[in-house]
């Protein structure tokens, strides 16, 4: 592609993106930064403004990436932070649009088809909602898409900057969201190491630097707070799905018999005052700094980065593992329920998206139209759950849509096609299809880990990999159409 063609493509993408965003602005869509003051995942605004680096060092509830981003913007633009966030997220949206387009072009889509497929995604209701919501879901989805594009470019050119960009994007995801574990980082390095390269030692060095950067966060938390991980919330998150698995009867038995008596009676993420001093006394010794010792943030929201939540989370983790070992089939039943939430559209209203509730209401005609165009049958999953997990016969009404049928099919079909590609590449001595393998690995990894560890916000987690799922969908759809239209001999 020559420079004139590149410039023309960029102009078309910029113009269509700008027109779409102007139209959405005209119907009332606005960037919502209200989450800044009250979301549990964010450090106190005053702490971010006044002591950013020490606060990030003492941050144990979350990886530091997104709070670093918030703090830098608040420091540089204290009077216009909301406007700055809106501009950055719009730039991220354009980057996502360009990344989808260029990935499809590199996958041999024609220009009109690549543009049409990319445009359909970036005007979808989920994309619009998350682009206008100050949270880490949208930035993570963008960096994962850029990572897939960078790996595809590296696969085709073997140029070192593309490998460096891929590793930088994966590292950013791991330093922003705890679900992207150190093990995920290590696995992702294999996608660049396995490809042939003239300067293999440099690729290995870059991979090692990326792994060590993520590992340093884990080591820091181990030294300061006594756990090896990027977030101290793991136990409290596990408790949500474990408690859902038990039902009220087992929880009542636990409270009567004294097995985890205190922690079983308290919902995860409760106020510190709800937990006994005996439990909180085992908190690690830490300096008296606001991010670790203030029970409330400035806006009177609980500070879940308080040091006393660390032993609380560990106790929840012990209880959760005990529940899972005691009745593994009930836990699998809860995982099944988590998958049902995971497969729901990401614009579904639930507690986590309250900050974008106004935008969701504005987009309601759009989402209603999509529902009317989609297959929608309410089925009873009670008999299936009873057969698989020995649950009671109570009915489980579930709206079966085209989308809920599509995602499992995509996972299975994409696994099959990538396996065939890897097999043919090995036989023919061709380059390993690293980009496709990375996309499938990321989708499967997030889907499995999230639904094993979380109950309640599962479809929000899927929003982070929606662009990758969409790339799989359009690629398989194009392959199917091409095979069908191919003339017979």
- pLDDT, tens digit, for every residue of 91-111? 999 999 999 999 999 988 999
Query: Between the CA of residue 446 and those of 181, 329, 352, 453, 462, what are the distances in Å?
Result: 10, 22, 19, 11, 8
Residues 224 and 167 in one domain: yes
- 400, 281, 385: which is closest to 344 by C-alpha? 400
Determine the Cα–Cα distance for residues 270 and 248; give it in Å rounded to an integer: 18
Residue 462, burial from CB neighbour count under 10 angstroms (0-12, 13-18, 19+): buried
Determine the Cα–Cα distance for residues 173 and 159; give it in Å rounded to an integer: 22
Specify if 383 maps to a domain. Answer: no
Question: Final residue of a domain: which of 327, 362, 388?
Answer: 327
Residues 39 and 108 in one domain: yes
Question: Final residue of a domain: which of 267, 299, 327?
Answer: 327
Residues 104 and 9 in one domain: yes
Answer whether residue 486 shows pLDDT above 60: no
Helix (H) or strand (E) holding 397: strand 397-401
Which residue would you say has higher pLDDT here, 127 or 257?
A: 127
Specify if 249 maps to a domain. Answer: yes
Residues 109 and 178 in one domain: yes
Specify if 424 maps to a domain. Answer: no
Question: Final residue of a domain: which of 281, 304, 327?
Answer: 327
Give the DSSP letter of residue 353: G
At 147, the pLDDT band (50, 70, 90 cuts) reads very high
At 489, the pLDDT band (50, 70, 90 cuts) reads very low
Specify if 200 maps to a domain. Answer: yes
At residue 430's C-alpha, the angle toward residues 427 and 431, to 5°, is: 130
Specify if 436 maps to a domain. Answer: no
- Domain holding 241, by residue range, is 234-327
Q: Are 35 and 147 in contact (CB under 8 A)?
A: no
Answer whether residue 488 shows pLDDT above 60: no
pLDDT at residue 405, as a whole number: 65
Residues 150 and 210 in one domain: yes
Mean pLDDT computed over 194-202: 84
What are residue 376's DSSP bridge partners?
401
Answer whether residue 375 shows pLDDT above 80: no
Phi, then psi, of 231 in degrees rounded to 5 = -145, 135
Specify if 434 maps to a domain. Answer: no
Domain count of the fold of the chain: 2
pLDDT at residue 283, as a whole number: 84
Contacts of 178 (CB under 8 A, 6+ apart): 62, 63, 229, 230, 231, 233, 234
Residues 255 and 314 in one domain: yes
Mean pLDDT computed over 198-209: 91
Answer whether residue 487 shows pLDDT above 70: no
């Amino acid at each position: 592609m020559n420079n004139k063609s590149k410039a023309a493509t960029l102009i078309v993408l910029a113009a269509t993106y700008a027109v779409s965003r102007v139209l959405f602005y005209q119907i009332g869509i606005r960037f919502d930064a209200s989450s800044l003051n009250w979301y549990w995942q964010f450090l106190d605004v005053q702490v971010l403004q006044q002591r950013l680096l020490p606060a990030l060092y003492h941050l144990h509830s979350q990886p530091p990436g997104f709070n670093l981003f918030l703090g830098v913007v608040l420091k540089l633009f204290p009077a216009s932070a909301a406007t700055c966030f809106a501009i950055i997220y719009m730039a991220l949206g354009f980057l996502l649009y360009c990344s989808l387009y260029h990935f499809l072009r590199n996958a041999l889509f024609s220009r009109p088809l690549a543009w049409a497929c990319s445009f359909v995604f970036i005007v979808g209701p989920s994309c619009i909602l998350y682009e206008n919501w100050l949270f880490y879901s949208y930035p993570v989805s963008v960096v994962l898409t850029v990572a897939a594009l960078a790996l595809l470019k590296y696969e085709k050119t073997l140029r070192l900057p593309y490998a460096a960009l891929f590793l930088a994007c994966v590292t950013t995801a791991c330093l922003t969201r705890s679900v992207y574990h150190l093990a995920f980082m290590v696995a992702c390095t294999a996608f660049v190491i396995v490809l042939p390269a003239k300067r293999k030692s440099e690729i290995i060095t870059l991979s090692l630097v990326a792994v060590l950067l993520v590992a340093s966060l884990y080591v820091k938390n181990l030294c300061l707070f006594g756990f090896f991980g990027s977030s101290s919330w793991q136990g409290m998150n596990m408790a949500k799905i474990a408690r859902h698995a038990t039902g009220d009867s087992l929880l009542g038995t636990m409270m009567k018999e004294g097995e985890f008596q205190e922690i079983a009676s308290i919902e995860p993420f409760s106020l510190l005052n709800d937990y006994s001093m005996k439990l909180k006394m085992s908190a690690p010794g830490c300096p008296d700094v606001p991010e670790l010792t203030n029970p409330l943030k400035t806006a009177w929201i609980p500070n879940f980065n308080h040091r006393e939540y660390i032993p609380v989370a560990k106790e929840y983790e012990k209880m959760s593992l005990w529940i899972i070992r005691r009745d593994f089939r009930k836990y699998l039943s809860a995982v099944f329920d988590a998958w049902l939430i995971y497969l729901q559209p990401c614009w579904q209203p639930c507690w986590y998206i309250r900050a974008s509730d106004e935008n969701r209401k504005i987009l309601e005609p759009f989402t209603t139209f999509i529902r009317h165009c989609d297959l929608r049958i309410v089925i009873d999953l009670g008999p299936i759950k009873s057969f698989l997990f020995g649950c009671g016969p109570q009915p489980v009404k579930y709206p079966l849509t085209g989308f809920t049928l599509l995602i499992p099919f995509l996972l299975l079909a994409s696994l099959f096609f990538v396996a065939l590609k890897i097999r043919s590449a090995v036989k023919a001595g061709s380059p390993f299809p690293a980009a496709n393998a990375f996309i499938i690995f990321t989708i499967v990894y997030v889907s499995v880990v999230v639904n094993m560890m979380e109950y309640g916000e599962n479809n929000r987690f899927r929003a982070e990999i929606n662009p990758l799922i969409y790339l799989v969908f359009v690629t398989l759809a194009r392959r199917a159409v091409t095979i069908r239209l191919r003339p017979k001999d």
